[in-house]
């Protein structure tokens, strides 16, 4: 593979714990998992693969009466009211 460089990265505790568990189950090192992940992200970005976003759906019906026939500007202003 070529030369290797040592580096330090910060990883969220829960993500690190999950990766270590997976590594133990698969008999792989954390380093191997991190390298696999980086390769996958780079491959997707270089291909221009679309990012998949799961839509968030809220149950409960339509807008309240106050906003049912409101313009987007009114809804937006209410969302940002008091935030500068």
Domain residue limits, the chain: 13-47
Mean pLDDT across 63-75: 89
pLDDT of residue 56: 81
Residue 60 to residue 62: CA distance in whole angstroms: 7
Q: pLDDT grade, residue 65 (50/70/90)?
A: confident
């Amino acid at each position: 593979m070529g030369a290797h460089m040592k580096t330090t990265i910060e990883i969220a505790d829960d993500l690190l714990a999950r990766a270590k568990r997976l590594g133990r189950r698969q008999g792989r090192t954390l380093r191997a998992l991190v390298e696999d992940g980086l390769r996958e992200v780079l491959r997707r970005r270089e291909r221009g693969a679309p990012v998949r976003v799961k839509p968030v759906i809220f149950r409960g019906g339509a807008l309240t009466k106050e906003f049912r026939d409101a313009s987007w500007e009114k809804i937006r202003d209410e969302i940002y009211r008091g935030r500068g």
